[in-house]
């Protein structure tokens, strides 16, 4: 619907906004496409594709999120911390996302924090989780690219991730579609905490 480089470009209407945060290349834009079953967000094998804060207004009728018609913004944030460590990565996310999350009196901020299921222990992700927590952002953890793991790796990595970030993780794959219904339920619940 719109792209914002600064805080004054952020739509501040009454619709719930759910941000997708995560390292560059983690699969944020791909997940938006998989959720919507449409190529609306640009993706790339090279990290750093999404540079603006992009707003996708979705309207859902029935489906896994529950009965009735509801709308929300899925907000594709620029990725942080590619090939870089914790504090710098957090600062980088902060610089682009701070304005987005800042002093919104209309609704409590919500986010999906995406972590690559192959790398469950990166400092950058722990720093981002801490940063979101400090800002009071209602956050749900999503483990991406789960199709790339064997059954053994999957169990081990999800355990490690949940331990290191202290939240339960929802495994998803934009490639296979795994976890999309559960993710829609999570998004619907977050959207309804806002309404």
Look-up: residue for tokens 């603006």?
52
CB of 91 to ligand GTP, least distance (A): 16
Residues from 159 through 188 that contact ligand GTP (CB under 6 A): 173-175
With CB under 5 to 8 Å by kind, the binding choice for 113 among Mg ion, ligand GTP, none is none
Task: Tell me how far apart the alpha carbons of residues 139 and 131 are, in angstroms, rounded to a whole number.
Answer: 11
Residues 130-149 binding ligand GTP (CB under 6 A) are: 144-145, 147-148
CB 86 within 8 A of CB 123: yes
Q: What is the DSSP secondary structure assignment for residue 35, as one 8-state letter?
A: H
> Residue 187 and residue 65: Cα distance in Å, rounded?
7
Q: Is 49 in the site for Mg ion (CB under 5 A)?
A: yes
Shortest distance (Å) from residue 32 CB to ligand GTP: 8
Q: Which of residues 65-124 bind ligand GTP (CB under 6 A)?
A: 78-79
Asked whether position 139 contacts Mg ion by CB under 5 A, the answer is no
Which residue, 168, 179, 172, is CA-closest to 140?
168
Nearest Cα residue to 135 out of 115, 109, 169, 114:
109
Q: Which residues bind ligand GTP (CB under 6 A)?
A: 22, 24-30, 43-45, 47-50, 78-79, 144-145, 147-148, 173-175
């Amino acid at each position: 619907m719109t792209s914002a480089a600064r805080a004054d470009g952020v739509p501040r209407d009454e619709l719930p906004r759910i941000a997708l945060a995560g390292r560059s290349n983690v699969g944020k834009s791909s997940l938006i496409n998989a959720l919507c079953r449409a190529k609306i967000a640009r993706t790339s094998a090279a990290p750093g594709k999404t540079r603006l804060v992009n707003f996708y207004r979705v309207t859902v009728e029935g489906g896994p999120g529950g009965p009735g018609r509801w709308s929300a913004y899925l907000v594709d944030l620029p990725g942080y911390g590619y090939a870089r460590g914790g504090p710098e990565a957090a600062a980088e996310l902060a610089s682009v996302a701070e304005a987005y999350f800042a002093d919104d009196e209309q609704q409590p901020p919500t986010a999906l924090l995406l972590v690559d299921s192959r790398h469950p222990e990166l400092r950058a992700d722990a720093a981002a989780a801490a940063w979101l927590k400090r800002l009071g952002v209602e956050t749900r953890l999503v483990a991406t690219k789960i199709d790339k793991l064997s059954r053994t790796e999957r169990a081990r990595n999800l355990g490690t991730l949940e331990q290191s970030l202290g939240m339960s993780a929802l495994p998803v794959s934009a490639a296979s579609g795994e976890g999309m219904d559960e993710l829609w339920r999570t998004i619907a619940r977050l959207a309804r905490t806002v309404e």
